[in-house]
Chain A
Amino acid sequence: MTGSLKRITIVRRRSSWFDLDLRRAWGHRDLLFLFALRDIKVRHKQTLLGPGWLVLQPLVWTAVFTITVSGVAGVSTANQPAPLFYLSGLIVWSYFSQVIYTASQVFIQNEHLFSKVYFPRIIVPLSSLISNAVALLIQFFVVLAFLIVFQRLGKADGLSWRIVAFPMVVLHLAAFSLAIGLLLGASTAKYRDLALMTPFLVQVSMFVTPVLYPFSAIPEQFRVLASFANPLTTIVEESRWCLLGDSMLTPGQLLASLFTTSVALGCGVLLYQRVERTVMDTI
């Protein structure tokens, strides 16, 4: 009792952009995992297939792309079996799209809760990183199963040591998804029409990212620029490097992608914290 009384909370206007109050966020780490757990539990309650949807969705897309993009249009799959090629890109892209959907809606979906109780608002988008990572893990095992099947058929190199680098890919992916999610979430709270932009952005991201075509299809002189402008480009390629081997990725491209990711994440966190301070008065 006497010990805790020494802690003084000062409520005042934070005029600085860099007043992040990370200590308070750390104090709520249990909430982070409880929110993630809630999302995982609730997502599949009263559904027919339950977590089966997480497996079915990428499989259906993979089948569709294998038939149309690869089969009919004849787009290269970088000498890899088409299903493996698409799956290894799709799981990355679907994680990105899920996280930014959720994060862009944070203030609108949680308006009632946010107006009644305070906790660091960044907890909510952070928790969606975790709950979607569980979905990603399930899909990762699907890819592994495919990998083993194609290895048996002698059509793929199969598992290699590179797979241990996959968690690093997930970190890069989570950082970039969070960055875009926070930027969208903060701006959507102020300008509602941006909520309409998110689905559009998700669709566009599918085509400007080498999910349906190989990274090598981008002309060599534009690859650094592409990595710089859209970090997801290299993230998909990183994922393919881990799972399938054989990649054109250079350190320069990787650095360009990491640079944009860090800058976007920095801006995202600052803007989000700026908006959360007074947004409940105006939303």
Chain B
Amino acid sequence: MTSLKEEVLRFLDRFGEERPARPSGEFYALNNVTFTVPVGSVCGIIGRNGSGKTTLLKVLTSITEPDQGEARLRGRVGSLLEVGAGFHPELDGIENIYLNGAILGMSKSEITSKLDRIIQFADIGAVMETPVKRYSSGMYVRLAFAIAAYLEPDILLVDEVLAVGDADFQRKSLAKMKDAAGEGRTVLFVSHNMAMVRQLCDMAVFLEGGHVKQIGPSSAAIDCYLKASTPQSVQGERTETDHLWGELRIVEPSSETVCAHLKFGGDYDFVLRLGAKRPFKRGVAQVRIFDQEGVLISSLESLAEGVDQFDISETVEVVFNVRSLGLLPGTYLAGYSLFAWGEEEPRLSTETCLSFEVIPTTVNDASWPYLREHGIVRLSHSANLRAPGP
């Protein structure tokens, strides 16, 4: 079995004999999780927020110790839970390459030998002597990722850090991760982005509530995840916290009837009904629309749409008017968040609470409809022919 790299985690039953029951308020973030990842494969870790994905990575990287069970990792382990961990704003680019490289586990001589390639990969120009606090956020991320890209461990643990930088740089980073797998490295990749997992991973582990729900080829695990996470109801279930609740629905503007099948190019209102059990001040609402793979397509922001911060004394409805729907046919998911103005963390939030189908319809009296294979959004409004000018 020397060709196998084993990651084995076995968290015994909550009320195992060796240990007393956990005090109330505590719970196991992971329990009875066992799986093996063969050498050279890329394994996606998928699951909803709070399903234990990040805890799994933290255990595998030794950031936190498991209560029970063990993991065996064959070869050098490199982790990338955050790009630029330990970057110091006052230090310049070169100094930070050494510092961050060493934090990630490289030796000084190893970094020196890779320095030129790292700088070339980052491709941020002649700013290596400038303190990184003067970098733009894009430059910062590129430099940080370049270091990580040359970490070259036998096992790489990655936590959704690829969702950074511009598209061009993302493609470069993805290619680098694929290369890593080609060279016989093993990658464990935590992500919400199913499109990326599908593209990158050979296998996937679907975690739910700290347990392994499905493990196998990535497409099978993703299908299982999508099935489990796609809400079946067309009217979003009411989500509640102690003081707040919310409901999202999509209606036809004229009749106010709730729709699950939306016509491409049609007019719809996304109605978010919010309630507060005690007065809530300065609210800001956001509705997010995802494709089936979990890629964020668009956010509808109350502030950006010109709705000022609002107070909720009992209930209020935020209505987002969507006109000539530009989403191409397919299945989509929607979720929402309510923020208190100026705060980063939402007070009330659902990842996705309803799904809807956009059905093909022709527009502008065309005889051809747009279909799923044409992409995700329609940008043109109309088209015409004309003779080229002189």
On A, residues with C-beta under 8 Å from B are 1, 4-14, 27-28, 30-31, 33-35, 38, 41-42, 45-46, 113-119, 277-278, 280-281
Across-interface contacts of B91 in A (CB, < 8 A): 38, 41-42
Known contacts A28-B105, A119-B105; A11/B88 CB under 8 A = no
> Chain B's nearest CB lies how many Å from the CB of A272?
14
- B259 near A: Cβ within 8 Å? no
Q: Is A30 in contact with B67, judged by CB distance below 8 angstroms?
A: no
| In the bound complex, CA of A114 to CA of B91 (Å) | 20
In-complex Cβ contact of A4 among B63, B75, B81, B108 (8 A): B75
In-complex Cβ contact of A42 among B75, B85, B90 (8 A): B90
Q: Chain A residue with minimal CB distance to B75?
A: A5
Across-interface contacts of B279 in A (CB, < 8 A): none
> Chain B's nearest CB lies how many Å from the CB of A234?
36
What 5 additional pairs, Cβ within 8 angstroms, besides A10-B70, A41-B91? A1-B154, A13-B67, A38-B99, A113-B86, A118-B79
B54-62, B328-336, B366-374 - the one binding chain A: B54-62
- B77 near A: Cβ within 8 Å? yes
> Chain B's nearest CB lies how many Å from the CB of A194?
22
> Chain A's nearest CB lies how many Å from the CB of B101?
9
Across-interface contacts of A278 in B (CB, < 8 A): 64-65
| In the bound complex, CA of A34 to CA of B70 (Å) | 32
Across-interface contacts of B70 in A (CB, < 8 A): 10-12
- B192 near A: Cβ within 8 Å? no
| In the bound complex, CA of A86 to CA of B388 (Å) | 91
| In the bound complex, CA of A5 to CA of B2 (Å) | 9
- B82 near A: Cβ within 8 Å? yes
Closest 6 CB pairs of A and B: A12-B70, A31-B102, A11-B71, A30-B108, A116-B82, A277-B65
Known contacts A5-B75, A119-B105; A38/B95 CB under 8 A = yes
Known contacts A5-B75, A11-B62, A30-B102; A116/B154 CB under 8 A = no
Q: Is A11 in contact with B105, judged by CB distance below 8 angstroms?
A: no
For B, the interface residue count at a CB cutoff of 8 angstroms equals: 44
| In the bound complex, CA of A114 to CA of B81 (Å) | 11
Across-interface contacts of B58 in A (CB, < 8 A): 115, 280
| Secondary structure call for the B interface | loop
Across-interface contacts of B104 in A (CB, < 8 A): 117
In-complex Cβ contact of B98 among A5, A28, A34 (8 A): A34
- B72 near A: Cβ within 8 Å? yes
Q: Chain A residue with minimal CB distance to B59?
A: A11
Q: Is B184 in contact with A1, judged by CB distance below 8 angstroms?
A: yes
How many A-B residue pairs have C-beta atoms within 8 angstroms? Tell me.
Answer: 106
On B, residues with C-beta under 8 Å from A are 2, 5, 39, 58-77, 79, 81-82, 85-86, 88, 90-91, 95, 98-99, 102-108, 154, 183-184
Q: Is B60 in contact with A11, judged by CB distance below 8 angstroms?
A: yes
Q: Is A28 in contact with B79, judged by CB distance below 8 angstroms?
A: no
Residue of B2, B64, B77 contacting most chain A CB atoms (<10 Å): B64
> Chain B's nearest CB lies how many Å from the CB of A222?
45
Q: Chain B residue with minimal CB distance to A120?
A: B62
Known contacts A5-B74, A41-B90, A278-B65; A117/B79 CB under 8 A = yes
Q: Is B66 in contact with A13, judged by CB distance below 8 angstroms?
A: yes
Q: Is A116 in contact with B81, judged by CB distance below 8 angstroms?
A: yes
Across-interface contacts of A9 in B (CB, < 8 A): 62, 72-73, 77
A-B contact list, 16 entries, CB within 8 Å? A1-B184, A5-B74, A11-B65, A11-B66, A12-B70, A13-B65, A13-B67, A28-B102, A31-B102, A34-B99, A41-B91, A45-B90, A113-B85, A117-B85, A118-B61, A278-B64
> Chain A's nearest CB lies how many Å from the CB of B77?
6
Residue of A13, A33, A118, A277 contacting most chain B CB atoms (<10 Å): A118
| In the bound complex, CA of A277 to CA of B95 (Å) | 29
Q: Chain A residue with minimal CB distance to B3?
A: A5
Across-interface contacts of B5 in A (CB, < 8 A): 5
> Chain B's nearest CB lies how many Å from the CB of A130?
14
> Chain B's nearest CB lies how many Å from the CB of A119?
6
| In the bound complex, CA of A6 to CA of B73 (Å) | 10
Q: Is B184 in contact with A8, judged by CB distance below 8 angstroms?
A: no
Q: Is B63 in contact with A114, judged by CB distance below 8 angstroms?
A: yes
| In the bound complex, CA of A264 to CA of B205 (Å) | 46
> Chain B's nearest CB lies how many Å from the CB of A142?
26
> Chain A's nearest CB lies how many Å from the CB of B208?
21
| In the bound complex, CA of A77 to CA of B77 (Å) | 57
Across-interface contacts of A8 in B (CB, < 8 A): 72-74
Across-interface contacts of B67 in A (CB, < 8 A): 13
